[in-house]
Amino acid sequence: MTADIAASASSRIDHYPSRRSIPARFLERLDPVVYTRDVNDAPITPVQINQYEEQGFFVLEDIFSDAQVKCLQKEQQRLRMSEVNPGDEARIHEPGDNTLRSIFAVHAVSNVFARLASDPQLLTVARFLLEDEVYIHQSRLNYKPGFRGRDFYWHSDFETWHVEDGMPRMRALSMSVALTENSFNNGPLMLLPGSHKRFVACSGNTPENHFRESLRKQEYGVPPDDLLMQLANDGGIVAVDAKPGSVVVFDCNAVHGSNGNITPFPRSNAFIVYNSISNRVGEPYCNRPPRPEYICTRRSISPLKKGEGVPASE
């Protein structure tokens, strides 16, 4: 199987080679950031469009009612407490203990989060920025409980999605929906503004079944210190304060991470990754088998239709 994958991957042009036993370095971004050029009737403001283009992210505020936010909070708590299948690989625990770190493919196991992913307000923005129909490449809940929530180290999602999932180009984006208060103190999402304009090719080779460890603690596909320092010196670091229900929209190649949480106050976010239907994944670029379906959608790729939106109660 590995030989077939290698042959298939080698037959495609790799526009963003990474982890190929070559030194880490910056590569030129070859793809647009905002694909849509006709901004008439845009679902976001000119300021937001410009911030996304130049900094790689912006924040949507006040798009969900208090009742909708409470519904999302109740559902994330229900999923955190449920152990329907104790061996479920989509439930990721922290290294060294049983603290729940993430739940993947939440749109597939929860009607509430399925409706969040197809919410017309979010879907319209994703389609506008990518200028295409979209599908859910990945969804997950990231839990960062009080006192013991671990960090998520600096990385570009696209680097991993390209190398390990076979996502060809930078035509995807993430939306991080705050389910709890995200403050400077409890490990909020941090971004390096402008980092999305260059691709950080990383060193090393991808180990077999890398996902089993990388979802707990990523070590491959991590930019080296000197390149991170350059990105931080060029654009600074922004820690996003976000009230529950706020949505951080960020480019697939924006370098981001978050600190650990030693405060008593938990930090939980839902992530929805929208990929252009024209940019669907192929074979990985690392000569490894594809990652499981709960991490990367492959079997059922079809345009996502607008739904009813987040319910006010469930």
In 189-255, which residue ranges form alpha helices assigned H by DSSP? 211-214, 225-235
Q: Is residue 298 part of a domain?
A: no
Handedness of CA 79, 296, 254, 128 (dihedral sign): negative
Per-residue pLDDT at 148: 85
Per-residue pLDDT in tens (0 to 9) along the chain, 314 residues: 344 444 444 458 999 999 988 899 999 999 999 999 988 889 999 999 999 999 999 999 999 999 999 999 999 999 998 865 555 888 888 877 778 889 999 999 999 999 999 999 999 999 999 999 999 999 999 999 889 888 889 999 999 999 999 999 999 999 999 999 999 999 999 999 999 999 999 998 887 766 565 555 667 788 999 999 999 999 999 999 999 999 999 999 999 999 999 999 999 999 999 999 999 999 999 989 999 999 999 998 999 999 999 999 76
Collapsing DSSP to helix, strand or coil, 198 comes out as strand
**Contact of 136 with 302, CB cutoff 8 Å:** no
Residue 301 belongs to a domain: no
In this predicted structure, what is the pLDDT of residue 55? 98
Backbone angles phi, psi at 91, to 5 degrees: -95, 115
pTM: 0.93
If one counts every other C-beta atom within 10 angstroms of the C-beta of residue 206, the result is: 22
Instruction: Report the DSSP beta bridge partners of residue 139.
Output: 272
Cα separation, 294 vs 108, in Å, equals: 9
The answer to whether residue 290 is domain-embedded is: no
Q: Is residue 214 part of a domain?
A: yes
Q: In CATH, what number is assigned to the domain containing residue 15?
A: 2.60.120.620
Can you give the pLDDT at residue 11? 56
Q: What is the pLDDT of residue 263?
A: 96
- The reply to whether 287 falls in a domain is no
Place of tokens 């196991």: 109
Inside any domain, residue 50: yes
The backbone region for 184, taken as left when phi is positive above 0, alpha when psi lies in -120 to 50, beta otherwise, is alpha
Count of the separate structural domains present in the chain: 1
Secondary element (H or E) of residue 301: none
Q: Assess if residue 284 is contained within a domain.
A: no
Write out the residue range of the structural domain in which residue 50 sits.
2-33+45-279
Instruction: Transcribe 56-103 into DSSP letters.
Output: SEEEE-S-S-HHHHHHHHHHHHHHHH--SSTT-TTEEE-TTS--EEEE
pLDDT of residue 221: 84
Residue 264, in any domain of the structure: yes
What pLDDT, on the 0 to 100 scale, is given for residue 183?
94
